[in-house]
Amino acid sequence: MDMHTVVVGSSGTTADDVIAVARGAARVEPATEALAAVAAARQVIDDLAAKPDPVYGVSTGFGALAVRHISPDLRAQLQRNIVRSHAAGMGPRVEREVVRALMFLRLKTLASGRTGVRPVVVETMAALLNAGITPVVHEYGSLGCSGDLAPLSHCALALLGEGDAEGPDGVVRPAAELLAEHGIAPVELREKEGLALLNGTDGMLGMLVMACADLARLFTSADITAALSLEALLGTDKVLAPELHAIRPHPGQAASADNMLRVLADSGLTGHHQDDAPRVQDAYSIRCAPQVAGAGRDTLAHARLVADRELAAAVDNPVVLPDGRVESNGNFHGAPVAYALDFLAIAAADLASIAERRTDRLLDKNRSHGLPPFLAADAGVDSGLMIAQYTQAALVSELKRLAVPASVDSIPSSAMQEDHVSMGWSAARKLRTAVDNLTRVIAVELVAATRAVELRTGLTPAPATRAVLAAVRAAGVEGPGGDRYLAPDLAAADAFVRSGGLVAAAETVTGPLA
């Protein structure tokens, strides 16, 4: 077994494994002990199915229709019908990595031995992932309660050999054709199995896990660009001293301050705030950078804690308990995940907001302490980075709208049986947009800060700054000079930040940053 195989046991999974399957080429293999636990739980369901007493999800309808007892000859049809009827999503296709994360996390819960499915269901889900078959899932169809119902249903439909899916070649075709080409037999569902495939927080959790990974990189990237802006504005690094942050002991704040201090080590540009135009203090967007980014880091730490708990969970209704009882529950409610997703959207918006204020300061000759207007070569003839800041401001404004929480907007469904929902899927979808936009905002600050540092002729930037400058120029972002077609520079900076190139460049000098 190689390092690209993720083994799924009965006790949950890790964020790293989710990302390896969703974004990488990792294969999935259910552990032997997990398949044994699955088989044991299935025996409990088979025993209940043989009894005359109605059991929710085994021998009854679902949701508001749970009052109807279903006879044995109709139960397979019941399970097929719930998948078909719930595969009712609309709108654009959801990204491949999101669907793979969703499928893997549903597999994780099926492997827990708490859902009552047969081992063949677990094995077939793993086979689809390993074959690179990605069901077509649509943007709309989840209220984040009773699970991500429509998205999970579209995935379950592919297990049945129905609906559409994307093959490993990226072409969308009927799922039946793709399964046949890869030698995968469609699943014929039995009692409880259709319900078990639909009842989970897997979509919103997968997006939370990936957003946490992306935001961790972006918080470090923002510390680097903040340090470069401080340098370009001839600010003081005294506010980054560890003893100052120790007396307000928020760990994220201390980590951000330390990152900035290490990037600025041995800079010839810092400490000039008392020179020609004396400043007692730098502006908040410079001086308070660790406090704002640090609060975001601590929010991220909370979100990761929530994600880790959910990754260890078995979310289904009803569930098979260790003592053999089959009990209904509300664990499918997405509130814990939805809140974390909304918190992160707020943190992303505020981090973008302070980055934009630093960029604007770099471009304003009245506040930039000697830099040319808009960092232009010949202001008036050239506009410099004027409109780059417009773009950044538009992104920040959008981020503020995306920070409005989805989780406070419950809407009742299922004939008022499901009368309070989490909207966690919606929170996750808007957070993905927020993360993309935050990346672009940081990229614009990087373009401005690197140009401004290079315009400080006669002063030597920090070694880490010089490493960033060399790397960003090699990545296709041009330095100071006359006006040119600017969109390619911004796109190159965006790609540089998104790929982790900015962090990697700084770390060649600083060593690993937090």
**With contact defined as beta carbons under 8 Å apart, do 206 and 214 qualify?**
no
Q: Is 485 a catalytic residue?
A: no
Q: From the candidates 56, 140, 339, 485, give the one annotated as an active-site residue.
A: 56
**With contact defined as beta carbons under 8 Å apart, do 263 and 465 qualify?**
yes
- DSSP tag of 382: B
The 10 Å CB-count burial string (b at 16+, else e) for 344-380 is bbbbbbbbbbbbbbbbbbbbeeeebbebbbbbbeeee
- DSSP tag of 419: -
User: Which residues, other chains included, contact 360 with Cβ-Cβ below 8 Å and sequence gap of 6+?
Assistant: 389, 393
Reference 176, options 164, 161, 188; nearest CA is: 161
User: Residue 279: is it exposed, middle or buried by C-beta count within 10 angstroms (0-12/13-18/19+)?
Assistant: middle
* Cα distance between residue 252 and residue 297, in whole Å: 5
Q: Report CA-CA distances (Å) from 33 to 7, 237, 309.
A: 11, 55, 21
* Cα distance between residue 33 and residue 10, in whole Å: 7
* Cα distance between residue 193 and residue 121, in whole Å: 8
* Cα distance between residue 282 and residue 237, in whole Å: 10
Beta strands in 200-255 (DSSP E): none
* Cα distance between residue 81 and residue 83, in whole Å: 5
The 10 Å CB-count burial string (b at 16+, else e) for 282-293 is beebbbbbbbbb
CB under 8 A, 24+ apart: contacts of 246-251: 250/294, 250/295, 250/298, 251/294, 251/297, 251/298, 251/301
The pair of structure tokens assigned to 369 is 């302490």
> Cα-Cα-Cα-Cα dihedral of 319, 321, 327, 330, to 10°?
-60
Q: Which residues carry out catalysis?
A: 56
